Amino acid sequence: MNIYIKNIKELNCACDALILPFTEGDFGLYNNIGSTTSGLVKKLFSKEFHGKQNEVLLVPSPEDIKPERILLIGLGKKDEISTEKVRQAGGKAAVYLRDMGMKKIALSSRVLSSLKMSPADFMEGSLLGLYTFKRYVEEKNNKTIDSFVIPSKVSKVLKDDIHWIKTIASSVCFTRDLINTPSNDMTPSHLANAALSLERNNLLVKVLEKKDAEKLGMGAYLSVAKGSKEPPKFILLEYKGAKRAPLALIGKSITFDSGGISLKPAEGMEKMKYDMAGGAVVLGIFKAVSELKLPVNLVGVLPAAENLIGGFAAKPGDVVRAINGKSVEIINTDAEGRLVIADAIGYAKRFKPQAIIDIATLTGACSIALGNEAIAMMGNNRELINKIKKSADKTYERVWEMPLFDEYKEYLKSDIADIKNTGGKNGSLVTSAYFLYEFAGEVPWVHLDIAGTAWIEKEKPYMPKGASGIGIRLMLNLLKELK
């Protein structure tokens, strides 16, 4: 879909529908848009439409203007306006118009500008909302929007903002596709190929094989892959856009989590294809960063494996040794995420990173605590945590900090090894993070548990059901501020 900024009047814009955003009960700015349009909209505004958040009304337009139809969209109360509300309105309006079969759309920016909001935020919601997962269905209805015109003065700021949201939305959609793809078509090898497809001059991709991981002593990671015939792939990415020490991004990449010998219940197990969401998000981040050529240095680590049962699978009680020499007693083979991330952290440290951030669908307890509304965040570095909080507020990819109390160390004490991989039912969200903390040590590190937010059960204005791609916008905004 194309987005054009055109220096013309909105009523001279030939299109299937012109979007007019409104705040609640406020008609003011459309008084001088053109007499027939203004008259029509004024009439509707008293009864049919009020401007409530995400309220929509599509009407045929007056004879004397170029747009065929007008879509009124509500932004909610004027003094409660936020970029998130604008983004949601953008998603709601675009999806509504697409479903009505509209192809060419225009967006009036007069109300948005008066609210000091950017049409780019509205368009971000539209691009994210219009996503559909098409891999396995015949294209029956051809309902797609072809173009969006923003009638506005062409400015560098607006052009740059549109470029930014277009690049990011395309990365989010790339990532959603990877996550939505079921595990028979998204094995560790497929994920490695997806990573390799991103290779370009500023982005290096390398895939370590099982024998490489063995040589490196990644016993924790390899124990997870043992029950599957699919070979594990330890995927590495390097982006160089600056001179300083890199930021390491680790994404949990379990392409299917059956639980292993500690088998999960059948109900809902099909969703465990999204256990590689963290890895897919890291790929999305690299895609966007390399396209935007951001002045940062990144290392990406995706420890990809399938957690299955079989004659060679790891068993409860097994003891394995991680890359840093620590021995780990596997109490529950379903706590596999922390095992693969532990070795990924150990490996990432070799790059002498300024900080490590891991993104993972790590615990069911994450959704129990926060529902589908926030990422659980834990870390050992106040400054980094605060930066991520700021970015979360901006992008509405919200985070909620959970503690890493010293006492949790006790929960993970093993009788026969340095540490065990579960700390019991109580505090399972925080002890999973504490386990990782034991591997991060002194290196500034933050863990983001996206188990509750990576998958959307009930669609939201700019998030269709399925993979959300959460984490990309959060991290990109953070990286933008870091430069």
Catalytic residue numbers, as ranges:
264, 338
Does the footprint of ligand BES cover residue 121 (CB under 6 A)?
no
Among 67, 337, 379, 444, binds Zn ion (CB under 5 A): 337
Compute the least distance from the CB of residue 230 to Mn ion, in Å: 16
Query: Nearer to Mn ion by C-beta: 192 or 365?
Result: 365
Cα gap 482→386, rounded to integer Å = 13
Cβ atoms 240, 270 nearer than 8 A: no
Compute the least distance from the CB of residue 161 to ligand BES, in Å: 34
Query: Nearer to Mn ion by C-beta: 121 or 306?
Result: 306
* Count of residues near ligand BES by CB under 6 A: 15
Residue among 444, 449, 463 at smallest CA distance from 396: 463
Q: How far apart are the first and last CA of the chain?
A: 30
User: How is residue 460 annotated by DSSP?
Assistant: B
Contacting positions for Mn ion (CB under 5 A): 257, 334, 336
Residue among 206, 208, 210 at smallest CA distance from 229: 210
Cβ burial, residue 311 (10 Å; 0-12/13-18/19+):
exposed
Q: In what order do the strands lie in the sheet with 147-151?
A: 2-6, 147-151, 104-107, 17-22, 69-74, 56-60
Compute the least distance from the CB of residue 245 to ligand BES, in Å: 31
Does the footprint of ligand BES cover residue 359 (CB under 6 A)?
no
Cα gap 248→349, rounded to integer Å = 8
Q: Which does 364 bind (CB under 5 to 8 A by kind): Mn ion, Zn ion, ligand BES, none?
A: ligand BES
DSSP 169-212: HHHHHHHHHHHHS-TTT--HHHHHHHHHTT-BTTEEEEEE-HHH
Among 10, 230, 257, 358, binds Zn ion (CB under 5 A): 257
CA distances from 339 to 10, 219, 378, 417 (A): 56, 9, 17, 14
Compute the least distance from the CB of residue 391 to ligand BES, in Å: 23
Query: Nearer to ligand BES by C-beta: 153 or 465?
Result: 465
Does the footprint of ligand BES cover residue 337 (CB under 6 A)?
yes
Query: Nearer to ligand BES by C-beta: 355 or 366?
Result: 366
Residues 6+ apart with CB under 8 A from 87: 121, 122, 124, 125, 128, 396, 461, 462
Sign for the pseudo-dihedral over CA of 345, 348, 349, 354: negative
Does the footprint of ligand BES cover residue 379 (CB under 6 A)?
no
Compute the least distance from the CB of residue 269 to ligand BES, in Å: 10
Angle of helix 188-196 versus helix 277-292 axis, rounded to 10 = 10
User: How is residue 313 annotated by DSSP?
Assistant: -
Residues 6+ apart with CB under 8 A from 81: 23, 75, 115, 117
Output the residue with the shortest Cβ distance to Zn ion: 257
Compute the least distance from the CB of residue 345 to Zn ion, in Å: 16
Query: Nearer to ligand BES by C-beta: 233 or 252?
Result: 252
**One character per residue 197-236, x = contact with Zn ion (rule: CB under 5 A):** ----------------------------------------
Among 3, 205, 249, 335, binds ligand BES (CB under 6 A): 335
Residues 253-312 that bind ligand BES (CB under 6 A): 257, 275
Binding span for ligand BES by CB under 6 A among 76-84, 173-181, 329-337, 375-383: 329-337
Q: Which does 451 bind (CB under 5 to 8 A by kind): Mn ion, Zn ion, ligand BES, none?
A: ligand BES
Residues that bind ligand BES (CB under 6 A): 257, 275, 332, 334-337, 361-365, 422, 428, 451
